Amino acid sequence: MAIYLDCNATTPVEPSVASAVVRFLEKDFGNAASPIHDYGVFALTAVEHARGQVAEVVKANRDEVIFTSGATESNNLAILGLADAGMRNGRCHIISTAIEHKSVLEPFEEMARLGFEVQILPVQSDGRIDPQRLSDAIRPDTLLVSTMQVNNETGVLQPLTEVADILADREIWWHVDAAQGFGKELEQLRHPRINFISISGHKIYGPKGIGALVVRKQNRQFPPIHPLMFGGGQEQGLRPGTLPVSLIAGFGEAAKLAVRNNGDRMKKCQTFREKALATLSALGAEQNGAEKYTLPHVLNISIPGINSEVAIKALKNVIAVSSTSACTSHTHTPSHVLTAMGLSFEKVEQSIRLSWCHMTPEVDWSEVENILRALRG
């Protein structure tokens, strides 16, 4: 099997996460909403323990964590959930950015259909949004600003601290899609100004199908988000339905490890990066997104003279890499992220994303180099 270098699409699962999932599937399988016997009590205790572990990563309160099926659902809940409040208060202007994930951009298309004015900010060639442009875009009727933390295609960290300063004294809701940075870049998301944080279990060595929306309270009150589903009352009425206890327990374990092992993981990823860069730079690869803002486990490169699809196929027995975000790769449309950064069509067609983690084994980079050189002829 090829070595897996597609950790931004999904990560492998930590062994202790898998053990937690299995335990709550096989043994302690009770319903957390039925704590009238030990089965239910064990399930509820596990859910609340995991909620605390997830909250701890961003220094939120336990009751500010709403479990969802993943970041897609969290993004939808934060964005569409505010439509009601916006319409009631006559605040119909929304600001987001051109490099957001489809699970942010498509709810915004829906908001536009509902009558909201959605303003999409451009991005600079380094892959970052320009905080000044955001500041200029704000209006008295701005309801919501939505900015991602780390881009999934480039690994570029966005200037959230600057955004926090701009939004400091303004009554505008701020949502951050942190699917790619939660549990990796810890400090930014602890900023109390961020109202909503979307997170996903399967990007932090946890299970798929579980995530959360962190909803920070203001003056002990939730922001005015309206649920998208009804019935059951779970998750404070914001996300009803029987909780997937096993997935939640695994997610909690993954969150705990993310904090505990952060430094060690970063170091391992950086060492891997240096080896990858040495080979790829020798081939003339150019990095898409500024190196100094890129998280250590991601490289998005374009190699002159080599089409990415051809390269990915040629490399497929050695390393498993991707050409664009997994969620849109079936559409074969050029990456909206790289296009927004101003890359030529040719460079976009040559772009390859490599993303690894602390569990990734050594790659034989000389073999990678030989395969790629042979493609150039």
| Interface residue list for ligand PMP (CB under 6 A) | 70-72, 101, 103, 148, 152, 177, 179-180, 200, 211, 325-327
119 or 198: CB nearest ligand PMP:
198
Min dist CB 198 to ligand PMP, Å, is: 7
Q: Quick one: CA torsion of 127, 128, 133, 137, rounded to 10 degrees?
A: 90
Min dist CB 298 to ligand PMP, Å, is: 11
Min dist CB 152 to ligand PMP, Å, is: 3
The pairing of strands 351-355 and 65-68 is unpaired
The pairing of strands 117-121 and 211-215 is unpaired
Residue nearest to ligand PMP according to CB distances in the complex: 70
Give residue for tokens 């994930």.
101
Min dist CB 338 to ligand PMP, Å, is: 15
Considering only the C-alpha atoms of the chain, give the largest distance between any 2 of them, rounded to a whole number of Å: 70
Give the residue numbers annotated as catalytic, written as ranges. Answer: 327
**C-beta neighbour count of 98 within 10 angstroms:** 15
CB 212 within 8 A of CB 80: no
**H or E element at residue 371:** helix 365-376
142 or 152: CB nearest ligand PMP:
152
Angstrom distances, CA of residue 35 to CA of 25, 27, 66: 17, 16, 19
30 or 76: CB nearest ligand PMP:
76
200 or 294: CB nearest ligand PMP:
200
71 or 79: CB nearest ligand PMP:
71
Crossing angle of the two packed helices 102-113 and 71-80, in degrees rounded to 10:
30
Min dist CB 153 to ligand PMP, Å, is: 8
Judged by DSSP in three states, 40 sits in: helix
Tokens representing 41 are 């009590």
Judged by DSSP in three states, 145 sits in: strand
